[in-house]
Amino acid sequence: MPKLPSNQKNILNPLPKKQPSNLKKSPFKKFWSMNRVKHQAGEQIEILKEILKWIKFAGAKEVKNVILAALDTEQKRLVYHLSDGDNGSVEIAKSAGISDTTVRRYWTSWARQGIVEPLKVRGGERYRKSFELEDFGIEIPPHRTLVQPSEPKPASETKEEVVK
């Protein structure tokens, strides 16, 4: 960081580097140090957010090209869209009208390309999309509603026919 003349306040780091001499034996010494760390962390977070914004902007065109190349069919776009980390391969496969093996094969390919992220789940592994298709102006194909695993109904809600 460039040195500023002593009569100018450093805008990026307004807290002095050294603690004031009157705090050396004060009970507020620890408080002062913690506030300084929090202040610096807050500044660093803001700088990182700004860097991230520009990186996203600079990489958007490349990401769109990778997504368009990887998701070259409506079926792949649909599977990618439904890969939110909450849905397993079986549910996505039923909604897309394909096998769960195909879904898992797509996920493996997309993970190598960096457009999905693996998630560990009780039954193994599933994937979550890294990008929203809508953010790149890519249409989501129509699909069936996701089939959620059904819970058994209580006996009072089930109707049984009595055979005589």
* Averaged pLDDT for residues 102-131: 94
Residue 94, both tokens: 């039923």
**Alpha carbon distance 97, 73 (integer Å):** 14
pLDDT of residue 29: 62
pLDDT of residue 156: 46
Residue 65, both tokens: 């090209």
Looking at per-residue pLDDT, the higher value among 102 and 18 belongs to 102
> Band of the pLDDT at 14, cuts 50, 70, 90?
low
Q: Where are the domains of the chain?
A: 31-147
Per CATH, which fold does 31-147 belong to? Arc Repressor Mutant, subunit A (1.10.10)
**Alpha carbon distance 17, 36 (integer Å):** 9
- Structural contact between residues 146 and 87, judged by C-beta atoms closer than 8 angstroms: yes
pLDDT of residue 66: 95
Provide the β-strand partners of residue 118: 127
Within the chain, residue ranges assigned H as helices are 29-70, 74-82, 89-96, 100-113
In the chain, the percentage of residues whose pLDDT exceeds 90 is 49
Long-range contacts made by residues 82-89, C-beta under 8 angstroms, separation at least 24?
82/143, 82/146, 83/107, 83/116, 83/126, 83/127, 83/128, 83/129, 84/128, 84/129, 85/119, 85/126, 85/127, 85/128, 87/126, 87/146, 88/121, 88/123, 88/126, 89/126
pLDDT of residue 101: 96
pLDDT in tens, 82-115: 999 999 999 999 999 999 999 999 999 999 999 9
pLDDT in tens, 25-49: 666 666 656 777 777 888 899 999 9
pLDDT of residue 56: 83
Residue 106, both tokens: 């797509």
Residue 5, both tokens: 């003349």
* Averaged pLDDT for residues 110-130: 93
Q: Please state the pTM of the whole predicted model.
A: 0.60
pLDDT at 159 over 60: no
pLDDT at 21 over 70: no
> Band of the pLDDT at 149, cuts 50, 70, 90?
low
